[in-house]
Amino acid sequence: MPHAVKLELRQLFQDKAGVAAPIEGESLQAKAKPAVVAKSAAVAATIPMGEIWRGLHKLGHVVLFALLAIVAGWAWPRQLWRRTCFYLTVFAGISETLQLLTPDRSAQLFDMGLNLFGIMAGLILWHFLSRLQYFAAPDPPTA
């Protein structure tokens, strides 16, 4: 996600949380007003939004690559699982490395590890789903 979009989302969440965003040219002291904070609002504010965003972002790596592995298993049912895993691993490596070419993104080994975990989880899940008749891939047409 581009850095500018992240900043806009952060600003949106701060506005929704009741934190007043400073107007251009106005200092934070001029904007500050005394407020009464309810106990439930204080508890909800203890988890920073950045931590929630980071956790969802990391979960997204696992879920998206697991779905990709399930779709790959369904699309190529006759392919060896090692070959499918190799292709998906190469794709995950290339997609993480290409992030080095953009100024708003960064490649991280931890993200690559999450991608690989998602691939393995998806292939294992596909292995069990493919045993069910409902999820069986159709046979290719013969001519």
**Residue whose C-alpha is closest to residue 70's, from 119, 133, 139:** 119
Same domain, 29 and 63: no
Query: What's the number of domains the chain is made of?
Result: 2
* Cα(61)–Cα(69) distance, integer angstroms: 12
Domain of 34, in residue numbers: 1-46
Q: What is the mean pLDDT of residues 47-53?
A: 79
Same domain, 20 and 52: no
Secondary-structure percent of the chain, ordered helix, strand, coil, rounded to 5: 65, 0, 35
Q: What's the predicted TM-score (pTM) here?
A: 0.61
Same domain, 27 and 72: no
- At residue 66 the predicted structure's pLDDT band, cuts being 50, 70 and 90, is very high
Whether 1 shows a pLDDT value over 60: the answer reads no
Same domain, 61 and 42: no
Same domain, 38 and 52: no
Same domain, 61 and 109: yes
